[in-house]
Structure 1
Amino acid sequence: MKVARHEKIKELIQQYDIDTQEELASRLNEAGFKVTQATVSRDIRALKMMKVTGKDGKSRYVILQELPTEMGEKYTRVLHDALLTIDQGQNILVIRTVPGMAMGVAAALDALNWEEILGSIAGDDTVMCVARTLEEASSVAERLKSILQK
């Protein structure tokens, strides 16, 4: 069922400009998949989806693997537009974002494949990013702060 649901999600986001979890859940339910917002949230993480801004200025979900390779600039733009603060506690960074953008920031961090980052967990406006060491966390924090200053 999960594989079929993931295939349907891919189909839906190619067919429609879906910009909220609620809209995605609604379209899945219309297609015969009984899902909750929590299930959709897990699916978004599993499929490595993030929101991007289209040419019309509206945001929509896309799957990271399907994005062109020049997305490095777009990831940087997502980080620049969404990051508010970066605080470090040992090897953990707590990153505050504008409301609703934490998942996009976490997905962008993961997609950048920085060796120092073990992984990240996103809420609505907060990302917890875990680095391997204290020094590597400091390095990531500095890289992120440099993006903020651009």
Structure 2
Amino acid sequence: MKARRQRLILEIIRQQVIETQEELAEALRAAGFPVTQATVSRDIRELGLVKVPGEGNIFRYAAPGETPPLRRDERLKRLLRSSVQFMDFSENLVVVKTLPGEAQGVASAIDQASWPEVIGTVAGDDTILVIVKPKKLVTTVLQRLNELARG
């Protein structure tokens, strides 16, 4: 019972923004686990959960070592807005032109975003090649990059 509950806790915090122990207890109760605040507190301690920054100046529970996706997307958005001058594509490649010296940081942020359709990036000083697979998703990747760059 305890192992199942703790596996469910990890699943819940991956899928939802949980800010408080009470929110976690409510989610567990909704899933059929009648818990007390003391049980939730003990599970949090045993699982080593930590509070990490989330979107909108909130803090949420996360598993130890987990880099919240929101933080990665925020970094990528900030870098795209401040560094990118132009984007285009050909076949399965997206070309991203940046300010001089900015390409490697932007490419690293794209890699860390872990988009399943992006195989990887190659960066020079001011140009990035984003390799997309399958080819039919290249416009989707370009559109997502453009949306993040616009805000």
The bucket for the TM-score relative to the shorter chain is 0.5 to 0.7
User: Following the alignment from structure 2 to structure 1, what is the Cα–Cα distance between the partners of residues 111 and 66?
Assistant: 14
What's the counterpart of residue 134 of structure 2?
Answer: 133
Indicate conservation of the 8 Å contact 2:72/2:113, yes or no: no
How far did 1:67 drift? 9.5
User: Following the alignment from structure 1 to structure 2, what is the Cα–Cα distance between the partners of residues 71 and 117?
Assistant: 15
Deviations 1:27-70 (A, max 9, x none): xxxxxxxxxxxxxxxxxxxxxxxxxxxxxxxxxxxxxxx89533
What's the counterpart of residue 73 of structure 1?
Answer: 74
Q: After superposition, where does 1:24-35 map in structure 2 within 5 Å?
A: none
Q: After superposition, where does 1:1-150 map in structure 2 within 5 Å?
A: 69=68, 70-150=71-151
Q: How many residues align?
A: 85
How far did 1:71 drift? 3.5
How far did 1:116 drift? 0.9
What is the alpha-carbon root mean square deviation over aligned residues? 1.8
How far did 1:72 drift? 2.6
How far did 1:133 drift? 2.3
User: Following the alignment from structure 2 to structure 1, what is the Cα–Cα distance between the partners of residues 67 and 92?
Assistant: 31
Indicate conservation of the 8 Å contact 1:79/1:108, yes or no: no
1:98 maps to a residue whose letter is: L
Per mean C-alpha deviation after superposition, the further-off stretch among 67-76 and 94-103 is: 67-76
Secondary structure class of the residue paired with 1:99: coil
User: Do the aligned partners of residues 67 and 76 (structure 1) sit closer, same or farther apart at CA in structure 2, a change above 3 Å counting?
Assistant: farther
Any runs of at least 4 consecutive aligned residues in structure 1 with deviations exceeding 6 A, and if so which? none
User: Following the alignment from structure 2 to structure 1, what is the Cα–Cα distance between the partners of residues 72 and 94?
Assistant: 23
User: Do the aligned partners of residues 67 and 103 (structure 1) sit closer, same or farther apart at CA in structure 2, a change above 3 Å counting?
Assistant: farther
Secondary structure class of the residue paired with 2:131: strand
Secondary structure class of the residue paired with 2:125: coil
TM-score, normalised to structure 1, is 0.52
How far did 1:135 drift? 1.9
Indicate conservation of the 8 Å contact 2:77/2:149, yes or no: no
User: Following the alignment from structure 2 to structure 1, what is the Cα–Cα distance between the partners of residues 78 and 89?
Assistant: 22
User: Following the alignment from structure 1 to structure 2, what is the Cα–Cα distance between the partners of residues 68 and 99?
Assistant: 28
1:106 maps to a residue whose letter is: A
Indicate conservation of the 8 Å contact 1:92/1:137, yes or no: yes
How far did 1:100 drift? 0.5
TM-score, normalised to structure 2, is 0.52
